[in-house]
Chain A
Amino acid sequence: MTGPVIGPVTGVELGILGQLGLVLVGVVVAVTVPPAVRSRASGSVSVLLGAAGAATGAAALAGREGVVELPTSLPLGHVALQATPLGGFFMLVAGGVGLVAALYGIGAGHGPSTSRTFCAAFPVFLGALQMVPAAGDAVSFLVAWEVMAVASTVLVLAEHAARAEVRSAASWYAAMTHLSFVLLLLGFAVLAGTGGGTDWASLSRVDPGSPSASVAFVLLAAGFATKAGVVPVHVWLPRAHPAAPSQVSAVMSAAMVKMGVYGVLLVTLRLLPGGPSWWGTALLGAGAVSAVYGILQASVATDLKRLLAYSTTENIGLMFLAAGTGLMLRAHQVTPAADAAIVACLLLVASHAAFKAALFLATGSVVHASGERDLDRMGGLGARLPVTGLAFGVGALGAAALPVTAGFVAEWALLQAVIHGARPEDRLVAVIMPIAVTVVALTAGLALLTFVKAYGIAFLARPRSDGAAAAVESSGSMQTAMISAAVAVVALGVAPGALTRAASSAAGVEPGSATLTGVDLSGVGASLEPLALLVAGALALAVVGAVSAAGRRQRRPVELSWGCGGVRADPRMQYTATSYAEPLARVFDDALRPERDVVITHAAESRYLVERVQFRQQVVDLMETRLYHPGLRLVDRAGTAGRRLQNGSIHRYLGYSFLALVAVLLVVTL
């Protein structure tokens, strides 16, 4: 058998091979290096791996090409790895996230995240994540996908010894991720059966209008949606993210779920371009539901990681909405707006990767420092963890899509695409586009509330628990990782031109006349110059400041004669996350159905005097209680019935084999 590579090696090929080599090195280092330096050594290899992924992705985006074929001992033929601009974009995102997460992991070295298994699984996970977008055929794609799923399950399980809920979370995750795998396998099998081969070129020979293409699309879209965490198959997200160590949550949320988006784009843009319009409508609908449901759940969540997980569902929903809008508008020949929507989808991918990495890493630092994940027990962390607070704040700005962050640019692009996609003469588009605008607007508003809550309750005011009061800032590499993620959020927001050009070339659309700093969606006649906006904003602020300073009179000192009770402020008087979200929970009562429990204890002397009021509120995921629990009960009942077949009686087992023998003999005879 010949070696893996023949002829001169291009830079991209070298990058792909380098990543595979680094994965091997990472595993060897994790297994051999003594525990004292394991985290540092293994983390450094992972940092290099992430950097290699980012560099390879950037090279592929710039149009460099390369194909690596690896012989395998499996009966599947070669594993073909091939860099394309679209894949390169996602490899860049995954590499970048992997880099900061690995850097963070070096400093977070304590407890189960320095175990040999964890250190070996992390580079494997990162490597598989970066190889998924590089896969050159369906088999390689599924191999990389499965390795990614298995490695991430191992990482989710890292803290299983300390916390019981981790095991349940990992089971949910493993079940859902394999559901996704099975759906993908079926989908690709349908395409391969029709197209006559497993490489992308054969798959793309299938006519997008044919029924088998639609069957494959439904299967593949469902599979990718499961991985991406779209409602109603999002249930693993709010379980797995709180269970996993923070750097793993960061990679999973910021990079892994994006592979679902990559898959959808791969199928709809590259393999089956020009599918029927209902494909786009279906994606758009799923995305819209996810976006609203995700952010509603996030807005009332009090577990910080759960909140971030639901926010991931929301953002994935927006990405699906953008991709669906693009596909639908393409099918209705509204090409400029369609192109803008797809570019917006990729911008959302990059911006979400940046701010969610910052948020998860900062959350990890908070948990590390205070031992608390419950927002209601945090507070005052801004003064104690200034770097973490800064990183979380910037990430929260991004998540709330406020200006000078990447999130703003992405949502602006999405809104532009959706608004300019409206076509009064086309009935379907005319109905759907305004709804999409509403969904995006509602989501943006709720996201703002959610992240004001998250930042305000956790980092401002006074500590609500001893853990929060005693928090100390985390180690250097963790701070560096958080700050670099935060810098990425701001940099992509201030100078989004390069990113937009990259997204355009990845999506294969005509790039607008973009400068380094500005976004120009020339097709829909909209442009944005965040730097100019920033300068104008700073000038306005300066003017207002100067005016108010000039107008300020000498303050007279005021002494309080009566403090109205305010001087004896107690941490328990503060707003909590639950109370802050209470109005929202009331407004969306029908959609959220929170379980409320109010216990009032009256004074013994009179029932008009209240001694104590206890209020407990729990928001359960409606999808879980209404959709999954009945389904699981059904499966459980079938399993119990099935157990009757196996009652332990030896006669029954012998009878089974006897009957089987007789049946076989009869079949053979007749």
Chain B
Amino acid sequence: MSESMYAQLVGLCAAVLLLCAVLIVWRRSLHGQIRLLAAQGWGLGVLVAVLGIHEGDGQLMIVAVLVLALKGIVLPRVLTRATVTDNGDLREETPLINTTASLILVALLMMLAYLVSRPVQALGSTPPVAAVPVGMAVTLFGFLVLSTRRHAVSQLIGFLLLDNGIGTIAFLTAGGVPLVVELGVSLDVLLVVLILQVLTSRIRAEFGGADLDDLTELRD
């Protein structure tokens, strides 16, 4: 793989990650959000594969396959199953912040991400380092979705977005993490999502909806 090709591929993957993240913030439909999340998972998997091919690291290739399988296929499936039983209630109806405001916030967070990443970017000018702000931005977008959406599944999507962002930063800066650690982290995320899926179904069974604003008696 030539250097320019490598740079373009890394840039493309980063662009896919960022675009998916922004679109997730924009879309209201849960199914649309899940499809975008799957696309983002593919983007992340391909990014890891590109890095692996460039480094000639076999272990990183295995990680890439793992990421692809988990974030591109398994997690979206699980999320879809969480929404399938949800007859008709497939839209994030009333987010705490409306779409326009969210998009403005996204722009501001993007700026913040670039500001914060300056010290990291000063370390080198390789393509992965240049893409670090994207990882940071995806993390912040994830947090934004997590804290402004009411629907339990939307929140799950926010959480996965956050996780994708952290993963992106890890792959871009450190050239990936050891296989064991990646396995552990992936397993954790899978477990969290499974548990939350079960929890969401239970909440729906108990209260008839998955709006988390109804759950305010958890304090004290």
Contacts and interface: CB of A to CB of B under 8 A. Distances in A.
Given A651-B96, A669-B118, A658 B112 contact: no
B144 A669 contact: no
Nearest to B217: A648
B123 to A, nearest CB: 16
14 contacts: A647-B219, A648-B215, A650-B212, A651-B147, A651-B148, A651-B150, A654-B143, A655-B147, A657-B143, A657-B147, A658-B143, A668-B116, A669-B112, A669-B115
A622 B157 CA distance: 61
Interface in A625-670: 646-651, 654-655, 657-658, 661-662, 665-666, 668-669
Q: 4 shortest A-B CB distances, which residue pairs?
A: A654-B147, A648-B216, A648-B219, A669-B115
Given A666-B112, A668-B116, A654 B146 contact: yes
Contacts, number: 44
Contact of B116 (A650, A657, A658, A665): A665
Given A648-B215, A648-B216, A669-B115, 15 more contacts: A647-B219, A651-B147, A651-B213, A654-B143, A654-B146, A654-B147, A655-B147, A655-B148, A658-B143, A658-B146, A658-B147, A662-B109, A665-B112, A665-B115, A666-B112
Contact of A658 (B115, B144, B212, B219): B144
A650 B96 CA distance: 12
B38 interface: no
Contacts of B118: 669
Given A658-B144, A662-B140, A651 B112 contact: no
Interface in B162-220: 212-213, 215-219
A662 B140 CA distance: 8
Interface of B: 96, 109, 112, 115-116, 118, 140, 143-144, 146-148, 150, 212-213, 215-219
A597 to B, nearest CB: 40
A657 B96 CA distance: 16
Contacts of A657: 143, 147
Given A658-B143, A668-B116, A669-B115, A651 B212 contact: yes
Given A658-B143, A661-B143, A649 B112 contact: no
Contacts of B112: 662, 665-666, 669
B216 A649 contact: yes
B158 to A, nearest CB: 9
Nearest to A643: B219
Contacts of B96: 651
B215 A650 contact: yes
B213 A649 contact: yes
A658 to B, nearest CB: 5
Interface string A84-96: 0000000000000
Interface in A14-70: none
A513 to B, nearest CB: 70
A654 B144 CA distance: 9
A628 to B, nearest CB: 27
For A646, A650, A665, the residue with the greatest tally of chain B CB atoms inside 10 Å of its CB is A650
Interface in A297-353: none
B57 to A, nearest CB: 31
A561 B163 CA distance: 106
A658 B141 CA distance: 10
Contacts of B140: 661-662
A533 to B, nearest CB: 67
Contacts of A665: 112, 115-116
Contacts of B116: 665, 668-669
Nearest to B158: A654
A651 B112 CA distance: 22
A648 B216 CA distance: 4
A669 B122 CA distance: 14
Nearest to B147: A654
Nearest to A664: B116
Nearest to A659: B147
Nearest to A668: B116
Nearest to B115: A669
Given A658-B147, A662-B112, A662-B140, A646 B215 contact: no
Contacts of B115: 665, 669
Contacts of A662: 109, 112, 140
B21 to A, nearest CB: 15
Nearest to B218: A648
Contacts of A646: 219
B41 to A, nearest CB: 23
B119 to A, nearest CB: 9
Interface string A218-236: 0000000000000000000
A655 B146 CA distance: 9
A647 B147 contact: no
A649 to B, nearest CB: 5
Nearest to B216: A648
Contacts of B150: 651
Contacts of A668: 116
Contacts of B212: 650-651
Contacts of A647: 216, 219
A515 B72 CA distance: 99
B95 to A, nearest CB: 10
A106 to B, nearest CB: 45
Contacts of B147: 651, 654-655, 657-658
B97 to A, nearest CB: 10
A668 B115 CA distance: 10
A365 B215 CA distance: 56
A239 B61 CA distance: 73
A526 B217 CA distance: 74
Nearest to B142: A658
A657 B112 CA distance: 16
A657 B158 CA distance: 14
B81 to A, nearest CB: 23
A662 B109 CA distance: 9
A649 B147 CA distance: 10
For A651, A655, A665, A668, the residue with the greatest tally of chain B CB atoms inside 10 Å of its CB is A651
B107 to A, nearest CB: 14
Contacts of B219: 646-648
